[in-house]
Structure 1
Amino acid sequence: MAEAPALSIALLATPEATASTLYGLYDLFSSAGRDWDVVMHGCPGRALLEPKIVSVDGQGFRASNGAWIQPDARLADCHSPVAICIPDLMVAPDEALTGRHETEIEWLRACHAQGTLLAAACTGALIFAEAGLLDGGEATTHWAYCDTLARRYPKVRVHAHRALVATGEGERIVMGGGGTSWLDLALFLVARLVGTEEAMHLARLYLIDWHREGQRPYAALSTSRQVEDAVIAKAQVSITTPPRQYVPWCSSAA
């Protein structure tokens, strides 16, 4: 009996994508079914997922941090993936997405209508909101962008402190919160698509610890500062402001 082919996952690359999240997702999905047997039995197992980086035109480009991203295919050549995952977008919280990514949004809407599972890491959820896919549903994104998401898209119920949210019909839209919560998102998708046991294998291989407390520990001081006491307020600002560093090669004496 022939083995079932690996399930296809399209990773949507945009000019604002961060390479670490995009390729981190690629590595983790590629590992499913393959690498546990390498470690335990000395030979690779059968890959269960087939990630593919896709973009509007399929052409390579520089990511927001200057890293080179080389897509595998154009959107037009990516037919009916089982799932689509959007990495985070390196944009400012007050930066509007209106009028941008129109081709990607049309593709996402069409795929979702066909039953594709959609997922977004961190600020990638903003594209779902711009597409209207979150209207009447729930969402999360990086804690620093939750206020913007709620204000710009009032039909969306935003959960600022949750690291993972699944919403919509059949919970076919899934979002991870900020930073490394893309790891939670990836494990959730692996568990949903190929099984919990494989997700546990990946968690053990990569030493991934679930963000059980959500985003609250990281957002609390920055979003809810206590200002009644001037001394405490000053301390909170000091804690949440990165220290200025002396860089000798940037000095006027250099």
Structure 2
Amino acid sequence: MQSPSTRSTSQARQAARHVALVALPDAVVSTLAGIYDVMNAQALMGESNGVARSPFRIEIVGESVGPLQLASGVPIHVQRSIDTLEASDIVIVPSVLLRRSGWQKGRYPRLVDWIERMHAGGATLCSACSGIFLLAETGLFDGKDATVHFGYAREFAATHPAVTIHPERVLVISGLQEELVSSGASTTWHDMVLYLIARYAGATDAQEVARLYALQWHQDGLAPYISFEGKSDHGDAEIQGAQHWLSTHFSVANPVEEMIKQSKLAERTFKRRFTAATGLAPIAYVQRLRIEDAKRRLERTDASVDDISWRVGYEDPAFFRRLFKRTTGLAPGAYRKRFRIPEFARPS
């Protein structure tokens, strides 16, 4: 299939495609409203300059027409009932807010059935962030790749084990016809909407909208945004003790050897149990803790990269730099520039 940038102008200028933006009580207003405005951008620009041109005809749809209070506590108006919509070109489920009880499957059978019918009729199905929780109930993502907010990744894997999840990826396109689209954490819905504009209207239009709204593609992926939290709910008390010790001693020399000594387990047994419990080999776990501490120091201090390297346990700054980039996708200096509060925003 052709990439969006190589589609012909005649293909991009087809009749406006219908977009069904799904409103449900768990939806987050910022994502829903943002998607609505940005996908309407060309229509709004057309009204301002007298040119009526838009690749999309977008409607907020739901189980019934009228006001609907979203998870944010803000009401939104559902423009059309799914009972009156027999077909759509694109269906988008916005971010949903997961409460402490997590996602409860089976609460929206009418929406799930309707989404399945839309897909059978040729619709492209899209999720923003955690909206994949609802889309996955159709079973259409089983055996396919998708992404979700990294904060919800474990819960999603437990809820929908048949879906291969990639929380570090910004956008995942799956399906034989590239009709299953998922975007990752939070504002990566920007990338999804720009992708849809590029796919159906052309790269020039996507660039124009990106400039209008000052949107940026998350081209470095989401690895730089993910904070490492070692798995600790595995039930192995011996390994939990080692993890607790390591949380404050990761920068010492030879931390793996020290853990093994303290555990009183044979080296081979310790390493096997540690890997089975945490999902990471001991040395990899140490590296993740050290990189996580380095990230905080880059964000919050003026210390040099060489100094940070030494403080987190690495005497060779070159090795530290390579490891940091391999782990986060960014060099230490680029990471600091990306995540440190800029001078103009700091309190005086």
What band does the TM-score fall into relative to the shorter chain?
0.7 to 0.9
1:7 corresponds to which of 17, 21, 43:
17
Q: Is 1:123 equivalent to 2:112 in the alignment?
A: no
- Structure 2 CA distance for aligned equivalents of residues 120 and 139 of structure 1: 9
**Partner Cα distance (2:226, 2:50) in 1:** 43
Tell me the CA shift for residue 34 of structure 1. 4.8
Measured at CA, do residues 179 and 96 of structure 1 come closer, stay the same or move farther in structure 2, by a change above 3 Å? Answer: closer
How far apart, in 1, do the equivalents of 2:71 and 2:101 lie? 17
Identity of aligned residues (%): 29
1:191 aligns with 2:201: no
Listed as ranges, the gaps of 5+ residues in structure 2 are 1-12, 233-242, 251-288, 297-348
Distance 1:33 1:199, change over 3 A: farther
Structure 2 counterpart of 1:81, one-letter code: S
From 214, 220, 232, the equivalent of 1:213 is: 220
The structure-2 alpha-carbon separation of the partners of 1:69 and 1:213, relative to structure 1 and needing over 3 Å to count, comes to: same
Distance 1:155 1:139, change over 3 A: same
Question: Aligned pair in 2 of structure 1 residues 67, 28: CA closer, same or farther (>3 Å)?
Answer: same
1:76 and 2:78 aligned: no
C-alpha distance in 1 between matches for 2:89 and 2:247: 53
Matched, 1:61 2:68: yes
CA distance in 2, matches of 1:45, 1:216: 40
Taking a change above 3 Å as real, the CA distance of residues 15 and 37 of structure 1, as seen in their structure-2 partners, is closer
Larger displacement relative to structure 2 (89-98 or 158-167): 89-98
Are 1:92 and 2:92 matched, yes or no?
no
Q: Is 1:28–1:186's contact at 8 Å kept on the other side of the alignment? A: yes
- What is aligned with 1:152? 159
> Which one is further off, 50-59 or 9-18?
50-59
**Per the alignment, in what secondary structure is the counterpart of residue 221 of structure 1?**
coil
Bigger Cα Rg: 2
Q: Deviations over 1:16-36 (max 9, x none)?
A: 111111111110111136527
1:186 is paired with a residue of what secondary structure? helix
Q: What residue identity is the alignment partner of 2:65? A: G
**Aligned 8 A contact 2:46 2:53 in 1:** no
| Equivalent residue number for residue 335 of structure 2 | none
Alpha-carbon distance change, 130 to 4 in structure 1, aligned in 2, over 3 angstroms: closer
Question: Residues 73-128 of structure 1, C-alpha deviation per residue, up to 9 Å, x if partnerless?
Answer: 00011221110111000113761322211100000111101110110100000112
The answer on whether the counterparts of 1:33 and 1:198 sit within 8 Å (CA) in structure 2 is: no
Letter in 2 for 1:230: T
Write the distance in 2 (CA, Å) between the matches of 1:36 and 1:207.
19
Q: Give the match's secondary structure for 1:60.
A: strand
Moved more, 120-129 or 54-63: 54-63
**1:156-191 CA-partner distances (Å, limit 9, x unpaired):** 111120010011121101011011001111111111
CA contact (8 A) 1:53 1:72 kept: yes
Deviates most, 148-157 or 19-28 = 148-157
Is the 1:121–1:176 contact (alpha carbons within 8 Å) kept by the matching residues of 2? yes
Aligned length: 233
State whether structure 2 residue 189 is matched by structure 1 residue 179: no
Q: As a proportion of its length, which structure holds more helix? A: 2
In the alignment, residue 202 of structure 1 is paired with which amino acid?
Answer: V
Instruction: Identify the match of residue 142 of structure 1 among 137, 149, 157.
Output: 149
How far the C-alpha of 1:66 sits from its partner, in A, is 1.2
What do the CA deviations read for 1:187-246 (whole angstroms, capped 9, x no partner)? Answer: 11111122221111101111111011222111133468986251566985xx6xxxxxxx
Q: How much has 1:4 moved relative to structure 2?
A: 5.9
Task: Evaluate the alpha carbon distance shift between residue 132 and residue 124 of structure 1 in structure 2; reply closer, same or farther with a 3 A threshold.
Answer: same
- In structure 2, what residue type is equivalent to 1:48? P
Cα distance between partner residues in 2 of 1:137 and 1:93 = 27
Q: Could you tell which deviates more after superposition, 178-187 or 144-153? A: 144-153
Q: Work out which structure has the larger RCO, using CA pairs closer than 8 Å and 6 or more positions apart in sequence.
A: 1
Distance 1:229 1:70, change over 3 A: closer
Cross-structure match for 1:242: none
Q: Secondary structure at the match of 1:154?
A: coil
Distance 1:36 1:181, change over 3 A: farther
- Tell me the equivalent position of 1:248: none
Contact 2:103–2:133 (CA under 8 A) maintained in structure 1: no
**TM-score of the superposed pair, with normalisation by structure 2:** 0.62
Q: Which residue of 2 aligns with 1:230?
A: 248
Task: Give TM-score scaled by structure 1 length.
Answer: 0.83
CA contact (8 A) 1:36 1:201 kept: no
